[in-house]
Amino acid sequence: MTTAQATSSKTGDPGMAHLGQIIAVASGKGGVGKSTVSTNLALALAAQGSAVGLVDADLYGPSVPGMLGIETGKAPTMSPAGKVIPAQAHGIKVISMGMLTDDDKPAILRGPMVSKYLRMFILEVEWGKLDYLILDLPPGTGDTQLTLAQSFPLTGAVVVSTPQDVSLKIARRGIRMMEQVKVPILGIVENMSGFTCPSCNEVTHIFHQGGGAKIAASLDVPFLGAIPLDPAIVDCGDEGRPLVIAHPDAPAAAAYRDIAAILSGRERGAAGIPTPFDWHWDDDASKPKPSAHAAHAGGAAEVPVALDRRDGRTLVLRWLDGHDQQIDVRDLRLACRCAACVDEMSGRAVLVPAIVPLNIAPTRIWSLGNYAIGVSFSDGHSSGIYTFGHLRAMVAAEVEDV
């Protein structure tokens, strides 16, 4: 994966526990019904008694407000604390670009503004205490997906596909992208899976059959279920009353409830360092807390369970497989793979080691989702992303303890 530049601003908020489990609903391509799945899944979780928020993260093509009957084009109400008050519909809280703009006013945004709005939708909304925050992602593997993976501790992703071969192949790419940024794949949902004739009840598999289960098996990820085609889904979406609300007895509504039950039954808690964190190098109080999971033989080699400094010149990492590693901080600076230090086309280093001061030191180290750290240095450099795989591969000496 090509190294992108990280923002030098703080990438996480230690006060995010109130958001509960953050679940991204993703797809490799458009037109697979991802927003419909996101909306009905959020409502199915709420029907189980959970407090649920829904973020329409498709800033260019927001569709969630229409599906939930939320009025658009009005300026949002602000709380006394200066946060946006989310809309409420059918028992869930919602934020969307579609609530801020009229249908005839497209959102014309460059990458940095996309990141800004996404962070605002998550961190600057008065969500209250949630059990789940569902993120309805746009299709593809671009700025939105990378921003969310880098900035927030995602519990995992639900990948939506249809049974068509082309959709399944593109879904595979989306899954691989999530795996590269260490976002757990919670499972695959096969949408538009078979059409039941309302007159004779005969099932016709318009887009083939069983493709979602097969790709889940081939990638060793869970298959969450198949949602049948139902004309009422379209009508309900247009009317602002999603299927699980308008037709709770429909087979598709039952499928959504089953998927929600599977997700709510998952045990939460990754083995790595708790994220997010923002460690100011000279401040021990801001160091990331070690993982509650003890290192053990057979543990994952690229999952850190503790991050520390032995002295002002040495970063120390302990990995889940029990390996302890120390890295000289100047070597860390020289190993940066950002576009300013390495030519992205050829992979050739362009950083001249002689210009890096011998006494260089980190100033901040912060979490980038579940897969990397960002580091700012005393020479002003702050655009490097150090994946856990990159750090583990660096030559290191054994240390006694962290």
Residue 104 confidence (pLDDT): 54
Cis ω before 276 (30° cut-off from 0): yes
- 85 within 8 A of 78, measured Cβ to Cβ: yes
Side chain identity, residue 76? P
Question: What pLDDT, on the 0 to 100 scale, is given for residue 35?
Answer: 92
| CA 1 – CA 173 distance, rounded (Å) | 12
Calpha distance 282→143 (Å, rounded): 32
Position 50 scores a pLDDT of 93
Per-residue pLDDT tens listing for the chain (402 residues): 333 333 333 334 446 788 999 999 988 777 788 899 999 999 999 999 999 999 998 887 788 988 999 887 677 789 998 899 999 999 999 999 888 766 555 555 565 777 788 888 999 999 999 999 999 988 776 677 877 887 888 889 999 888 876 667 777 777 888 888 888 889 899 888 777 666 665 667 776 666 677 778 888 888 898 888 887 877 887 788 899 999 998 888 999 999 998 888 765 556 788 777 899 999 999 999 998 888 888 777 888 999 999 999 999 999 989 999 999 999 999 999 998 999 878 888 999 999 999 999 999 999 887 788 999 999 999 988 898 889 999 864 444 444
Rounding to the nearest 10 degrees, give the CA dihedral for residues 47, 258, 235, 247: -60
Single-letter amino acid, residue 195: F
Confirm if 396 and 323 have CB atoms less than 8 A apart.
no
DSSP state at residue 335 = T
Give the ranges where 88-242 is alpha helix by DSSP (H): 111-123, 143-151, 165-180, 211-219, 231-239
Question: What is the model's pLDDT at position 115?
Answer: 78
Alpha carbon 120 to its chain centroid, in Å, reads: 15
Please list, in sequence order, all residues whose beta carbon lies within 8 angstroms of the beta carbon of residue 150, skipping any fewer than 6 positions away.
6, 11, 181, 368, 369, 372, 385
pLDDT of residue 373: 92
Q: Which residues pair with 187 in a beta bridge?
A: 158
Q: What is the DSSP letter of 99?
A: G
- 58: number of Cβ within 10 Å: 23
Q: CB–CB of 126/86 below 8 Å?
A: yes
DSSP per-residue codes, 66-98:
HHHT---S-PPPB-TTSPBPPEEETTEEEEEGG
298-317 burial, b at 16+ Cβ within 10 Å, e below that, comes to: ebeebbbbbbbbeeeebbbb
The whole-number pLDDT of residue 240 equals 87
- The Cα–Cα gap between 219 and 263 comes to 19
Which domains can be identified in the chain, with CATH numbers? 17-264 (3.40.50.300), 278-393 (3.30.2020.30)
Pairing of strands 92-96, 87-89: antiparallel
